[in-house]
Amino acid sequence: MPGCHDSSERQVRSIFVSDTHLGCKHARADALLDFLRNHRADTLYLVGDIIDGWALRRKWHWRPIYDAIIQRLLEMRAEGTRLRYAPGNHDAFLRQYLIDMGVVDVADQFIHTTPAGQRFLVLHGDRFDKFEQYATWFTMMTAATYNVMLSMDYWLHRLTFRRTQRNVVCGVVKTKAKKLVMHYSEFERQLIDNAEKHECHGVICGHIHNPKISELAGITYVNTGDWLENCTGLVEREDGVLEIVNADGSVRQASQPWGPMSVEGEFNGDEPQREVAEEDVDVSEPAEVAVA
């Protein structure tokens, strides 16, 4: 009910969700809606691929529950949540429409500042996926294969009377496909480098559907996951700790509590949040392409 606060709702500082792929037949919209209804936040970041224009172009597949999700977002906004949208590759087509609508702040990337003053670059991440950049046909093909894998998982789950995990096939393929793993690590490294260039302490992204909090060379890498396979979102607690949360509210992984800034004067925590213009983004020349 709009305006009614359920005591089970969890108040957090920020929520980050990406890769919900509404419009794709495998979108776990029910789980996403539960997640959004169970949280209240000062800021909600929509970190790209929220609506799947590629899937909708193939076949229009708009379910009533998608309207309920949009309704929930508007309700959160009415309750004071700031909505920030960084489009991804599947919803780039919405960009101008979203700007015209004026309901959400739209930018390629945002700077999010934690209570302790750490700066996080928030972006979808597709610009650092070499195949996305240089061989769209390949990613289209991968998307089709991925859809088949998701279908196999769906039927396996049904045929075993829901005794198996939802994403067995996807999980096996992803851990066995060495080149895919190399592709992941290359993606993570590119995002970490980019965060460093923007003098950020970390990066929060999506795109590769692999929820994770890790650290490399003092830079924190966070991937929010997705709502096709993993059904995870990222929440920032009031104390600034970041948690990857499952649809049922359980915590899958949490960051360390942030200490005070290690180098004095390195960062002014009072600096206002600012958006980074597209020109600031330096997508460095690809080295070796990891996926064949």
Q: Which amino acid is at 237?
A: R
Closest contact distance (angstroms) between CB of 207 and Mn ion is: 4
Closer residue to Mn ion, CB minimum distance, 76 or 91: 91
Tell me if 54 sits within 8 A of 142, measured CB to CB.
no
CA angle 89, 204, 173 (to 5 degrees): 65
The minimum distance between CB 83 and Mn ion, in angstroms, equals 19
Alpha-helical (H) ranges within 6-63 are: 29-37, 53-58
**Residue 28 or 207 having the CB closest to Mn ion:** 207
CB of 250 to Mn ion, least distance (A): 25
Q: Which is nearer to Mn ion, 126 or 188 (CB)?
A: 126
For Mn ion, give the closer residue by CB, 95 or 157: 95
Bridge partner list, 251: 245
Q: Where are the beta strands (DSSP E) in the chain?
A: 10-17, 39-46, 82-85, 105-106, 109-113, 119-123, 202-205, 212-216, 219-223, 232-236, 242-246, 251-254, 275-276
Query: Under a CB-based contact definition with an 8 Å cutoff, are residues 217 and 194 in contact?
Result: no
CB of residue 209 to Mn ion, shortest distance in Å: 8
133 three-state secondary structure = helix
Question: Closer to Mn ion at the Cβ: 125 or 202?
Answer: 125
Positions in the binding site for Mn ion (CB under 5 A): 49, 88-89, 126, 207
Nearer to Mn ion, 142 or 246 (CB): 142
Minimal distance, residue 168 CB to Mn ion, in Å: 23
- Quick one: which of 127, 135, 55, 119 has its CA closest to 89? 127
Q: Of the two residues 93 and 267, which places its CB atom closer to Mn ion in the complex?
A: 93
What is the closest distance, in whole angstroms, from the C-beta atom of residue 224 to Mn ion in the complex? Answer: 12
Q: How far is CA 186 from the centre of its chain?
A: 18
What distance in Å separates the CA atoms of residue 46 and residue 20, rounded to the nearest whole number? 9
- Least CB distance to Mn ion at residue 50 (A): 10
Q: Are 23 and 56 in contact (CB under 8 A)?
A: yes
